[in-house]
Amino acid sequence: MSTSLLYHAFGVYGYVYQRTEYVGGEICFTVEQPDSELKCSVCESKRVIRRGGRERRFRGLPIGKRAVWVELKVPRLSITSTWSS
């Protein structure tokens, strides 16, 4: 259900649903970007390597009176070299 809710209610697609947490009257959905969807933001090349990342929280529309958050680890990427030794 949560995958469908994220897609239809919040427009979050292209991510893999991980879990839902209910903390302090708030709802937090955790999603992850699959490696197959990673690409360079400048040249759009898919020849990239994941080099860590940073946890980000995005505020979603409330459900009833509960605040909604979408957590995502935004990856730091490096482009693989096309040069061969």
Note the pTM of the prediction, 2 decimals: 0.77
User: 46-61: string of b/e by CB count within 10 Å (b at 16+)?
Assistant: eebeeeeeeeeeeebe
Q: For the residues of 46-71, what is the DSSP string, one character each?
A: S-EEEEEEEEEEEEEEEETTEEEEEE
Residue 84 has pLDDT above 60, yes or no: no
pLDDT at 35: 81
85 has pLDDT over 60: no
pLDDT band for position 82 (50/70/90)? low
Question: pLDDT tens, 8-58?
Answer: 888 888 888 999 999 999 999 999 988 888 888 788 888 888 888 899 999
**C-beta separation of 15 from 33 below 8 A:** yes
